[in-house]
Amino acid sequence: MYTEENKAIVCRFFEEGPSKGNINAADELLSPDFSMHVPLPASSGIEGINEVITTCRAAFEHLNVTIEDMVAEGDKVVARFTARGVHKGNFMNLPATGKPVTMTGIEIFRIKDGKIAELWGEVNLLGLMQQLGIFPVPGQQD
């Protein structure tokens, strides 16, 4: 049953990468020709995902990612997640605010030969910017 194996690979990716910051796990979990499509500036390939993980962990202390839902079919796994941390470092040219944040997102993974070959990600950056005080929350006044 490949779908359960594929889901286990994605679970391990979230645990080792974003939650623990273990970028060495990339060699085991990611295909050598890995490609990533996310709304954050990063290099291509494995180097790019390692940059994203390192940058996010440096910006958000105690970063932890929880998988809320996961669906798999064929070679694809979709995960809806929640990331929590404290904004203690520079992120997208925004200086640390010390504020706790909760960010949600959805990522689609394509698995090939037991490794993640592609990742498409969408995250609620507007919600994050509202939590950091960059953009106002509709209906709230200063």
Q: What is the pLDDT of residue 27?
A: 82
Segments of the chain with pLDDT less than 50: none
Q: For residue 22, what are its two tokens?
A: 């273990």
CA 68 to chain centroid, in Å, comes to: 13
Residue 32 falls inside a structural domain: yes
Q: What is the pLDDT of residue 1?
A: 58
Residue 98 falls inside a structural domain: yes
Residue 34 falls inside a structural domain: yes
Q: What is the pLDDT of residue 103?
A: 96
Q: Which phi-psi region, left, alpha or beta, contains residue 114 (left: φ > 0; alpha: ψ -120 to 50)?
A: left
Q: What is the pLDDT of residue 38?
A: 87
Residue 138 falls inside a structural domain: no
Q: What is the pLDDT of residue 76?
A: 98
CATH number at residue 71: 3.10.450.50
Residue 70 falls inside a structural domain: yes
Q: What is the pLDDT of residue 137?
A: 82
Q: How many domains does the chain have?
A: 1
- pTM comes to 0.90
Residue 137 falls inside a structural domain: no
pLDDT digits (tens, 9 = 90+) for 68-89: 999 999 999 999 999 999 999 9
Give the residue among 92, 101, 90, 88 at the shortest CA–CA distance from 132. 101
Residue 141 falls inside a structural domain: no
CB 99 within 8 Å of CB 86: yes
Q: CA 84 to CA 116: how far, in whole Å?
A: 24
- For 115, the domain range is 2-131
Residue 140 falls inside a structural domain: no
What is the number of residues in the chain?
142
